[in-house]
Amino acid sequence: MSGHSKWATIKHKKGALDAKRGKIFTRLIKEITIAAKGGGGDPDGNPRLRTAIAAAKAENMPADNIKRAIQKGTGELEGTSYEEIQFEGYGPGGVAVIVQCLTDNRNRAVSEIRHAFSKNGGNLGETGSVGYMFSKKGVILVGKDDANEDKLTEVVLEAGAEDLSDEGEYWEITTSPKDFDAVLDAVKKAGIETASAEVTMVASTYTKLEGTAASAMARLLDAIEDLDDTQNVYSNFDMDESQVPA
């Protein structure tokens, strides 16, 4: 049950992850559209769409926006055709990075991602160069003020969670992708508020950086996050919380 200050968790604490609501909505709409396109518009039979809709509702996206995004994905409404592209590479200090893009222009996405890496001390790798270091997991964050550890442990383990770890101000619940919905439902039915809940990529090991190397790695992640085509960024970057900018 021991924890570590992973970069995504640190950024969540500082409120810096996707701080601009417009960007959040754009990314969520893209995800809903591509999910509906790939698996149909019924969330009951499309786990990816169900997860995307839940994420959109968590950000208070209007129901009409969600409905239109689904209709664009199923072809009921005309919309932009997005392509999924995944990049793998290394940042300063050998940190592994995976970038998932949804884009309507492959050449632009490739050019901008390559530029972000090279400008910030990183380099793109071949497909599969770092992917083996990550596995897909459900991750749910619960503020410590919102739940007692013993009660939360009982609730989530009975529902099928793999682990509960201490992440400073948060409890972090880890699940397999297939058990994510059941565990999240159990947490909500227990009346426990969640700070965030998503199916994400979790690294098997983490690379801790300090000083200038940590700052350079943070700049690389921010540069990638700021690109319009970027949908998700995953890394095995770890650093001391005292070094995170407020």
Q: 106 and 51 in one domain?
A: no
Token pair listed for 132: 């083996």
For residue 4, tell me if it sits in a domain: no
Residue whose token pair is 């509960």: 164
Question: Domain range spanning residue 53?
Answer: 21-74
- Whether 172 contacts 141, CB under 8 Å: yes
Q: 113 and 30 in one domain?
A: no
For residue 30, tell me if it sits in a domain: yes
For residue 111, tell me if it sits in a domain: yes
Q: 69 and 93 in one domain?
A: no
Q: 221 and 142 in one domain?
A: yes
Q: 105 and 65 in one domain?
A: no
Give the domain-ending residue among 74, 99, 119: 74
For residue 7, tell me if it sits in a domain: no
Task: Share the mean pLDDT of the chain.
Answer: 87
For residue 13, tell me if it sits in a domain: no
Q: 101 and 160 in one domain?
A: yes
- Whether 51 contacts 196, CB under 8 Å: no
Please determine, for residue 162, whether its predicted confidence score (pLDDT) is greater than 50: yes
Which candidate, 243, 241, 246, places its Cα nearest to that of 4?
241
DSSP string, 18-59: T--HHHHHHHHHHHHHHHHHHH-S-GGG-HHHHHHHHHHHHT
In tens, the pLDDT along 37-69 reads 999 999 999 999 998 998 888 788 999 999 999
For residue 213, tell me if it sits in a domain: yes
Please determine, for residue 17, whether its predicted confidence score (pLDDT) is greater than 80: no
Q: 173 and 88 in one domain?
A: yes
Please determine, for residue 14, whether its predicted confidence score (pLDDT) is greater than 50: no
For residue 16, tell me if it sits in a domain: no
pLDDT at 8: 55
Structural domains of the chain, count: 2
- Whether 200 contacts 137, CB under 8 Å: yes
Number of DSSP helices (H) and strands (E) in the chain, helices first: 8, 10
Q: How far is CA 161 from CA 2, 139, 187, 236, in A?
A: 16, 10, 11, 22
pLDDT at 59: 80
Q: 128 and 61 in one domain?
A: no
In tens, the pLDDT along 110-131 reads 999 999 999 999 999 999 999 9
In tens, the pLDDT along 193-245 reads 988 888 889 999 999 999 999 999 999 999 999 999 999 999 999 887 655 55
DSSP string, 217-228: HHHHHHHHHTST
Determine how many CB atoms are found less than 10 A away from the CB of residue 46.
19
For residue 2, tell me if it sits in a domain: no
Q: 127 and 47 in one domain?
A: no
Q: 205 and 119 in one domain?
A: yes
57: CATH: 1.10.10.200
Please determine, for residue 246, whether its predicted confidence score (pLDDT) is greater than 70: no
